[in-house]
Amino acid sequence: MTAESRDGAVAALFARGWHVVRVDEKDSEPTGMARLPFWKVITGKSLMQFSRQAGRLLHSGLPLTEVLSTLRDQIPVMNPVLGDVLSRILRGDALHLALGAHPGVFSPLYVSLIRSAESSGHLESGFNRLAELLEEEQGNRSAMTQALAYPLSVVLIGMVTVFAFTSFVLPRFTMVFEHLGGELPVATQVLVALSTFFGQWWWFFVLAALVLVLVLRQALKKEKGRRFRDRFMLKLPFIGSVVRELEVAHFSRTLGAQLEAGLPILAALDVSRKTTQNVIFREAVSVAMESVRKGGKLSEEIRRSGLFPPSAASLIVVAEQGGELPKALLDIADDATRESARRIAAVLTLMEPLLIVLVGAVVGALVIAMLLPIFNLEEMLQ
């Protein structure tokens, strides 16, 4: 069987009426995720579908094993994972332990909320709450993708246009005017020189980019490198405020959802810490955990960290006093999500015309540099 500790395994076996002689630890078995082909990825959308359907099927009265068996066939990409979860449950494992054996699919937050729902006997509500959280996350990600689609397409079209001009059109113009003799205009000479330089040395820039990517990946594998990156991101003029709002939203929603489900605050903080990507925020949560463990208040560490907006920190103070901390945290998450979306929309609205002007200016300069020799064609023929 699977248990979080040796004592937990003994307690679970005694609860089933078994007399325990000895308990030996065994290396964890390969997860179902390891059996997934590399081209199959369990996305947030698939996980949301699983959670929603599981809640509905449990509400209809189906036992958990039948729910997992049914969804294993309905969601093919999750077939290996759900098959392994089902086999673990049939061996006597709790659902949250079976899900926890697949950390690449089910996050610590997911496992924590399922564990709380199992303990309270409201597994259906736990799945429904997870489906709502995943739907919110998917909606925010989709909105971000849609907002960035137009600016990125403008930049991509501009890059393709410049590449086509310098790689195919410009060389032919250059050959024609070299046969005619005469001196090309300065702007055209500069353009030809740049085109020739990049044409000869493109492999060097590609190699340098690959080396840079590898160096950065190695640096980000270390805690020091990730800390430098995250601190740098938070200090950037516009990006820093957006990253801060997104991290505040993620932490508040994660912690609020767990407290709402009835988890103890220390356990909820530990899960929130594990799911926080930003190292600076993660360290702040660790400090808050230690303070709460020693009897301090969460609001004091939130205010002291300086990472939360003053209004959010004040709301947490009031909520702690009034016993409404879960609701306050979820409200802060909603406010932070809206504020980050507003900031991104405002900047993108300003960037769109600027990108069009910039791309138009670059393409226009290329066209003018190519047409200048035609204007001087009469002098070159003489």
232-277 pLDDT per residue, tens: 988 888 888 888 888 898 889 888 888 888 888 888 898 888 888 8
Higher pLDDT pick, 28 / 284? 284
Q: What is the reported pLDDT for 208? A: 94
State yes or no: pLDDT of 42 exceeds 70: yes
- HSE-CB at 72 with a 13 A cutoff on CA atoms is 16
Return the structure tokens found at 367. 């066209």
Domain positions in the chain: 6-106, 137-382
CA 38 vs. chain centroid, Å, equals 19
Fold of 6-106: Receptor-associated Protein (1.20.81)
Nearest-Å Rg of the Cα atoms of the chain is 29
The percentage of residues in the chain with a pLDDT greater than 70, rounded to a whole number, is 87
Q: What would the mean pLDDT of 273-285 be, rounded to a whole number?
A: 88
DSSP H or E run through 99 = helix 95-100
For residue 35, give the DSSP letter.
Answer: G
Residues whose CB falls within 8 Å of the CB of residue 278, separated by 6 or more in sequence, listed in order: 230, 233, 234, 243, 247
Q: Mind listing the pLDDT tens digit for each residue in 169-189?
A: 777 777 777 776 667 778 888
The residue written with tokens 């809206």 in the block is 338
Q: Mind listing the pLDDT tens digit for each residue in 103-117?
A: 888 888 888 888 888
Rounded to a whole number of angstroms, the distance between the first and last alpha carbons of the chain is 93
- Going by C-alpha positions, the residue among 1, 39, 38 that lies closest to residue 18 is 1
Residues whose CB falls within 8 Å of the CB of residue 19, separated by 6 or more in sequence, listed in order: none
The residue written with tokens 């060389």 in the block is 171
What is the rounded distance in angstroms from the CA atom of residue 282 to the CA atom of residue 47? 25
Buried b (16+ CB within 10 A) or exposed e, 140-168: beeeeeeeeeebeebeeebeeeeeebbee
Q: Model confidence at 215, in pLDDT bands (50, 70, 90)?
A: very high
What is the rounded distance in angstroms from the CA atom of residue 289 to the CA atom of residue 284? 9
For residue 121, give the DSSP letter.
Answer: T
Return the structure tokens found at 118. 């199992």
Return the structure tokens found at 6. 């040796």
pTM of the entire predicted model: 0.71
Q: What would the mean pLDDT of 57-79 be, rounded to a whole number?
A: 89
Q: What would the mean pLDDT of 308-315 be, rounded to a whole number?
A: 86
State yes or no: pLDDT of 81 exceeds 70: yes
Q: What is the reported pLDDT for 204? A: 92
DSSP H or E run through 106 = none
Q: What is the reported pLDDT for 3? A: 52
State yes or no: pLDDT of 7 exceeds 90: no
The residue written with tokens 């020739």 in the block is 196
